[in-house]
Structure 1
């Protein structure tokens, strides 16, 4: 079976006893920690038009082994509540499973390990029916979905069978938000759009929205990728950026998820903490990365072919053509060492070009942007930078 070695390495217990139904093809995994509105998410999923394949929903109720008794009790009651809801909302084509509460080791407890635990269970279930093209969908416990959610996810992978994953369009919930809160989420979504389009402008081929509640991955690709990581925050970003090294990650635009825009201090970064800082006056979401920094890194990407099979002298000659921000960054980051490794493992220019962005990847771009804004640029008004970006795209 396709995932035997992966599952043996994980050495994990089965979380669901009931065997998968025939034609099981889509599994939605929802980590659930101290979530008061989980039933709204389940009702939203249950209202969806069903696809041709059978659907399973795994709600992974979890907390740290050192969590307070108050939250442990809350999660226990959540399990009872969800089990009761499942009992009275059964229908053909979709099955819901409430798992837990699962106690996670304190060192790793958090969104990453909870998501991994649920996704690994999805892998086990697909493995029992030898379904490497089964689709695992990541969702959050405070998120709603459009009624065509399942159908459009299924259609995407039917139309693009070589895709190893897909991100899904999203729009944060705004109903009932106060003015400052509403302004914050609107600015944050505009920033995400700006950042993705600016990456596209640079020529980086793997730009995408990395939102934990809005992506899907094939079972086979999940295993090849090594599974979800255990990071306590940002697990979605790291997983998706590494997934592109397995194959193409597409985009489902015809369905939509609606994540919560709630404030949060559970994790160090992400939508909730950013909005909380905005409300507290600790983060100015009207300011963003200077567009000139993206222009600068584009000049590096435009010259990437020139780095093929070069020596140190040629390397210095090439980087001297680049803006100071990029030149100093790649010198301090020892990028020549990574280039040498790349050249040693690429016999053709074509293979070098395809693997260049495995070295200068999304993590390194973000590292460059932070370096450039410490040493060369100030953050500027988001609207103004977006206008500059759009004008540059128009002029290309």
Structure 2
């Protein structure tokens, strides 16, 4: 029986979150063609992989999947926005035409060796092109929504939506990661770029330096936000209402939401290989960084002191709960300022936090939370990955300007090193190294950062406050 959430009863006991999502938040194209593509998929699959494809090489699918892939449904959303460059649209349409000779149809299913099926969804042929400024985010959401329907209909056995891109090379054991419980919202694969060249090494250093800096500060959002590396729990996908329909940074905002509903896993293996090519497809990310570095050599990184400032803020939650909550009314801002001065804490840090309206957040937290774990969780959800980034930018713009990569490395070697151990309030007992880099060579620096990343705890996210 074909599952349609609007017309038929569910064929299995799917959750209220998934049922509600499919009824109210799935993309219209998913419901419109649902009966047709579920009928075309006349068997069950173990896994489902979602790929948004725009302006990719004609043979890109030949290098994405490992040779040992079997019994997998690959949903390729071949997409182009109506405002995309005409040449890119034509190349995308040419890619689709290889598999999809009947453009009047919205999809085509192509059986492949080892029991795999390629389901190509046409979002690049008029009038099915995507609206302006929604691009890859909407493409990921369409693919994720189709995957969710397949999981609900038991066409897919594993309740995980694997997400990647058209310019990656997935490892042989890509699907052989552990089975995680329902409390895990997402898993993130480790990565490397290929081929290596100076620009990509600098960019990769900046990514790893950022995550390690957040880990040093004790941030629960210390993980990479790269759309090519995601494995998402179907239940949590529904809870956060799918991918944001954004032209870029949809992966950042998606993980920011997922981390608030469940734990995030930093996988240690296997490693996904990302392309180091230049690209104009999105305004930032790897491709855009390559273009920028080719035009303006030299990469700037956040000053290491900014992460120490962040750590100083994140370590205050226990003191705030113990000492300030009894004075939460009537004026949270005045009480916070008085307490700050009494503790002789940095005025610059308070200025940054007040810019983010921390007084209002604390007021709400004191009113709603009955114990410290829930208070800490409230603050971690409020001070999320986006506000963390705003904190860093405010500190950068007002106090600690970014520095060229060599200067940052010199500071890390000769000043107080970044200590990756978390504060006592995070109850971490794992021993983690200092970000103290001994070699000035750029390849050695990148490899050192990779080694340090592998030593970070596997589980991360604000829900850790409720599950110490």
Partner of 1:296: 309
Comparing 91-100 with 18-27, greater Cα deviation is found at: 18-27
Partner of 2:378: 355
Partner of 1:47: 67
Deviation at 1:323, TM superposition (A): 2.3
Q: Secondary structure at the match of 1:207?
A: coil
Aligned positions of 1:55-66 closer than 5 A: 55-66=72-83
Partner of 2:350: 327
CA distance in 2, matches of 1:342, 1:357: 11
Comparing 337-346 with 122-131, greater Cα deviation is found at: 122-131
Shift of the 297–318 alpha-carbon distance from structure 1 to 2, 3 Å rule, reads farther
**Between Structure 1 and Structure 2, how many residues are aligned?**
379
Deviation at 1:217, TM superposition (A): 0.2
Partner of 1:30: 51
Tell me if the contact between 2:123 and 2:129 (Cα under 8 Å) persists in the aligned partners: no
Partner of 1:79: 96
Deviation at 1:247, TM superposition (A): 0.2
Instruction: Choose from 394, 409, 422 the match for 1:371.
Output: 394
Alpha-carbon deviations, 1:143-191, whole Å to 9, x = none?
A: 1111111122xxx2x155531210011111116xxxxxx1111011111
Task: Confirm whether residue 189 of structure 1 aligns to residue 204 of structure 2.
Answer: yes
Partner of 2:267: 252
Tell me if the contact between 1:30 and 1:60 (Cα under 8 Å) persists in the aligned partners: yes
CA distance in 1, matches of 2:390, 2:73: 39
CA distance in 2, matches of 1:48, 1:124: 26
TM-score of the pair, normalised by structure 2: 0.74
Work out which of the two has the higher radius of gyration on C-alpha atoms and give 1 or 2.
Answer: 2
Partner of 1:179: none
| Unmatched segments (≥5 aa) in structure 1 | 176-181
Deviation at 1:357, TM superposition (A): 0.9
Q: Secondary structure at the match of 1:358?
A: helix
Tell me if the contact between 1:63 and 1:109 (Cα under 8 Å) persists in the aligned partners: no
Aligned positions of 1:154-233 closer than 5 A: 156=178, 158-160=179-181, 162-174=183-195, 182-233=197-248
**Moved beyond 6 Å, runs of 4+:** 86-89
Comparing 346-355 with 18-27, greater Cα deviation is found at: 18-27
CA distance in 2, matches of 1:66, 1:7: 29
Deviation at 1:246, TM superposition (A): 0.6
Tell me if the contact between 2:217 and 2:308 (Cα under 8 Å) persists in the aligned partners: yes
CA distance in 2, matches of 1:21, 1:164: 29
Instruction: Choose from 394, 402, 409 the match for 1:383.
Output: 409
Deviation at 1:365, TM superposition (A): 1.5
Deviation at 1:252, TM superposition (A): 2.2
Q: Secondary structure at the match of 2:165?
A: coil
Partner of 1:307: 320
Shift of the 21–351 alpha-carbon distance from structure 1 to 2, 3 Å rule, reads farther
Shift of the 164–114 alpha-carbon distance from structure 1 to 2, 3 Å rule, reads same
Alpha-carbon deviations, 1:319-340, whole Å to 9, x = none?
A: 3333233111112222101111
Task: Confirm whether residue 280 of structure 1 aligns to residue 280 of structure 2.
Answer: no
Instruction: Choose from 243, 255, 258 the match for 2:258.
Output: 243
Alpha-carbon deviations, 1:48-86, whole Å to 9, x = none?
A: 354xxx4211111011234455444322221132459x9
Partner of 2:160: 135
Tell me if the contact between 2:304 and 2:408 (Cα under 8 Å) persists in the aligned partners: no
| Unmatched segments (≥5 aa) in structure 2 | 1-13, 102-107, 421-432, 436-468
Comparing 142-151 with 302-311, greater Cα deviation is found at: 302-311
Tell me if the contact between 2:111 and 2:118 (Cα under 8 Å) persists in the aligned partners: no
